[in-house]
Structure 1
């Protein structure tokens, strides 16, 4: 059994969702970032943390890719061209979607008020919109990012698109709006969100 540390309203949702998709049992500890319960396992105080056989694993992308590899699901085998494409899409989403949203969050409520630059959010929204146009050209045919099978990038993209809506970053590509509706309708997503 796994232990997931971090609130649902964080990147911990990615890990909870992956575990639900994989049908794995886990304990969920809703400790807040930088709390004592988190810093004990991650000195940076960031969530999520996954405890596996007493060992903490940090960073949501590393965690969900580890789980996919470990359980042989929602991923392509290492060393294949399909995995190279999957990893490329994962990196694109982290660089172009997650990074823009995280920077906006930092300048909204994370950084000390005197260090926040509210004007940067307009630039980030512009970049986020441009990245959507690029992504839809890279997506495969089918219901998921790579085509007919759900893989690691689907969890990252769905989480980022939901985060974007909450942060008032418009989703301008109709294909991505439809995609998000399908992903949020998945039973495993609903179970993870209900934690």
Structure 2
């Protein structure tokens, strides 16, 4: 399998690079910025990350994670099972309730044109993020992984959202979330990407 990943590690590409390291797959990383000429040839949206696997183009970090997990029978429950439905439900909740907050905070800080930014949104986004984390801390057993005994796609997404929120100076995490985060970021595959 020939895998190329376009996107720098200070973006959603981190999730993909981390999973590739966890899977022990060979890949080539191109730490490109969004909307470069090279990237626009692969994806008209110009967003990162983009994966090219054996000449097939996959866009969106969650789609790439899902492809990698399913094609390697790892970090996911089988399609068509109740466990998979619960995993997907958790994935979508994290994207809807956590990633949306950090992404909108970034857009209104430096991505949107300055005349389109609404800086007064940021306190509300930080509050929403905090409320969602509190629910996760109360309702999820974080002793191992979000889905129990095995690490799955939602773990990659949550850890990345937590990292993103720290970089954006969001509120400190609840203790259970903080312990979960501290444990997962010590994984050798995470450390390899973070320190590359």
Q: How would you bin the TM-score normalised by the shorter chain?
A: over 0.9
Query: Please, which runs of 5 or more residues in structure 2 have no aligned partner?
Result: none
TM-score by length of 1: 0.97
Alpha-carbon distance, 1:141 to partner: 5.3
* RMSD of aligned Cα (Å): 1.0
1:111 corresponding residue in structure 2: 112
1:179 aligns with 2:169: no
TM-score of the superposed pair, with normalisation by structure 2: 0.96
Matched, 1:45 2:46: yes
Distance 1:35 1:137 in 2: 42
Pairing 1:7–2:3 present: no
CA distance in 2, matches of 1:180, 1:142: 11
Match for residue 138 of structure 1? 139
Map of 2:80 onto structure 1: 79
Q: Tell me, what secondary structure is at the counterpart of 1:119? A: helix
Deviations 1:87-128 (A, max 9, x none): 010000000110100000000000000110101001101100
Q: Measure how far apart 1:42 and its partner are.
A: 1.0
2:52–2:58 Cα contact (<8 Å) kept: yes
Aligned length: 195
* TM superposition shift of 1:136: 2.1
Q: 1:96 to 1:26 in 2, by over 3 A?
A: same
Q: Distance in 2 between matches of 1:141 and 1:168?
A: 23
- The CA distance in 2 between the partners of 1:176 and 1:77, in whole Å, is 27
